[in-house]
Every structure is written in C-alpha cells, then in structure tokens.
Amino acid sequence: MKRRRGSVSTFALGTMGLAIVVVVWAVVNASGTVSERTLPSPATTFDRFARDVTSADFLRVHLPTTAWTAFLAVVIGMAAGVLVGVILFRWHSLYRLLRPYIAFANAAPRIALIAPLVLAFGTGVASKMALGVSLTIFVALLAAYGALAAVDTSLAQSVRCLGGTEIDVWRYVMLRAIVPNLIATLRIVVSLGLLAAVAGEMIVSEAGIGWLIARRGAVVDIAGVFSMLVVLALLAALLNALIDILARQATKWT
C-alpha cells in the first residue's frame, strides 16, 4: 500500500512539474521575449506532435527504426558488458592489465567512430547500433565489475563452509548482490542507447527520429524539432517506467 501511495505521489509530482514547465513555456512565448520562430508555442508544438504521431510514415518507419536501434544497443551492450565484467572479476590480473585500455576507450569520444562504422556497416541500423554498443558496454562492464568487487567475501565463504558449490555462491550471493547495481546501471545504459541512436541518425541515416530532427532543423522547422523532442521525452519516460517494473520484480527475487 505504501509503495502504491509512493508511486501515485511520484506521478503527481511529475505531472505538476510538467504543468509548470508548460506554463512557463507559454508565458515566455506569449511575452514576445523569444520569437515564435525560435521557440514555438506549446499549442503549435503539440499540434505538430499530434500530426506526427498519427502519421503512417512515423509509426511504421521512423519510430520503429530508432526504438529498434536503441533496443539492440542496450541489450547487446548490457549483456556483453556484464559478461566481460564477470570475466575480469574472475581473472583480476587480466583486469589490471586491461584497465588503462578500458579507461582510455571509455573516455574516447565515440561519436567520432560514426564514419568508420558507416563504412563498415552501412547507413542502416547496424552502424548506429554499433555506436550505441560502444557507449553502453563500458558502463555495464565497469558497473558489473565494481558491484562484484564490493560484495562481502565473508558471505561467499559462509556458503562454501555450508557445503555450497561455486554455482551456489554465484546464485545466492554474487548475483543477488549485484542486481540492484545492474538495475541502476540499466537506467544509464537505456539513456545512452537512445542518445546514440538519435545522434547517429542525425549524422547519417535513412530514417529515424534523429533523421527527422536533422532534416527539420536544416529547414528551420523548429516546431517539428520540438515535436520530436516531445516524442523522445515520452519514449524515455516509458522506458523508465518499464525499468521500474523490472526493479520491483528483481527486488522480490533478491
């Protein structure tokens, strides 16, 4: 019951915050401080948004393209990152050897890879997915390794003393200890996957929300750009809601 009240209050606060943003937006637009060409009114933006989300091309081509690209980047990056993190935890000497290279690769501006990725994978989904994986994999890797390294070794030793195998240690201690960290990391990874998909589409693409933003920005269709930003905000909110559901289920399991 408390959790339900907490969810309702969070939703109410979020709705109130959104209402305040829209009111301030409308007041600034009506005051003439910023021109309509630079900052379209909420009414103009939401009218364009309504036309966009009911467009057959948007629903059949652009939205699925971006969503699928981000999904692949998140799933592949998260799975590969956690797997590599577990391997490096098991062989700590290998982690010490690779640590400088991991830090360098994680700090490098991955958007610069878009040109070679396009040459390697083409202008379709694959190149943007690869760009997203290059962002998400290191976040998942470092999160998994850090969570495993922080596990109290006495808990694992207790399981072994009670006759448990290494599989039991991983099942009852390690995995349960790192699940909350992985859920928190998933929120970051989802944002990075969506960011990579849109950014890659803005640079070179044949379809997608990023492609629409770049095309509309080139002809100074600011209302159209804002419409796509609203779509991205709603998509991010939906993904976070799904992660909340996953987090509740994971909490029951752990």
C-alpha dist (Å) from residue 64 to 60, 117, 208, 234: 6, 21, 8, 14
Instruction: Give dist(CA 76, CA 126) in Å, integer.
Output: 12
Confidence label for 156 from pLDDT (cuts 50, 70 and 90): low
Instruction: Give dist(CA 166, CA 174) in Å, integer.
Output: 10
DSSP state, 99? H
Q: Which amino acid, 15?
A: T
DSSP state, 163? T
Of the listed ranges 33-47, 135-149, 153-167, 186-200, the one predicted with least confidence: 153-167
Instruction: Give dist(CA 110, CA 35) in Å, integer.
Output: 35
Q: What CATH number belongs to 48-253?
A: 1.10.3720.10
Q: Which amino acid, 204?
A: V
Q: Which residue has the higher pLDDT, 103 or 26?
A: 103
25 CB-contact burial (10 Å; exposed 0-12 / middle 13-18 / buried 19+)? middle
Instruction: Give dist(CA 45, CA 9) in Å, integer.
Output: 28
CB count within 10 Å of CB 15 equals 10
Q: Which amino acid, 196?
A: A
Q: Roughly how many angstroms between the first and final C-alpha of the chain, as a whole number? A: 20
Q: Which residue has the higher pLDDT, 41 or 87?
A: 87
Q: Once rounded to an integer, what is the mean pLDDT over residues 27-42?
A: 75
DSSP state, 207? S
Q: Reduce the DSSP state of residue 35 to 3 states and report it.
A: coil
Confidence label for 42 from pLDDT (cuts 50, 70 and 90): confident
Q: What does the domain layout of the chain look like in residue ranges?
A: 1-34, 48-253
For position 76, what pLDDT does the model report?
92
For position 5, what pLDDT does the model report?
55
Instruction: Give dist(CA 236, CA 216) in Å, integer.
Output: 21
Q: Which residue has the higher pLDDT, 176 or 3?
A: 176
pLDDT tens digits, residue range 157-180? 776 776 666 666 676 677 777 787
DSSP state, 38? T
Instruction: Tell whether the torsion through CA atoms of 114, 119, 121 and 125 is positive or negative.
Output: positive
pLDDT tens digits, residue range 108-146? 787 777 778 888 887 788 888 888 888 888 888 888 888
What lies within 8 Å, CB to CB, of 184 at 6+ separation is 143
Contact 89, 29 (CB under 8 A): no
Instruction: Give dist(CA 187, CA 238) in Å, integer.
Output: 12
Instruction: Give dist(CA 120, CA 97) in Å, integer.
Output: 29
Q: Which two tokens stand for residue 204?
A: 């070179």
pLDDT tens digits, residue range 64-108? 989 899 999 999 998 998 888 888 888 888 888 888 888 888 787
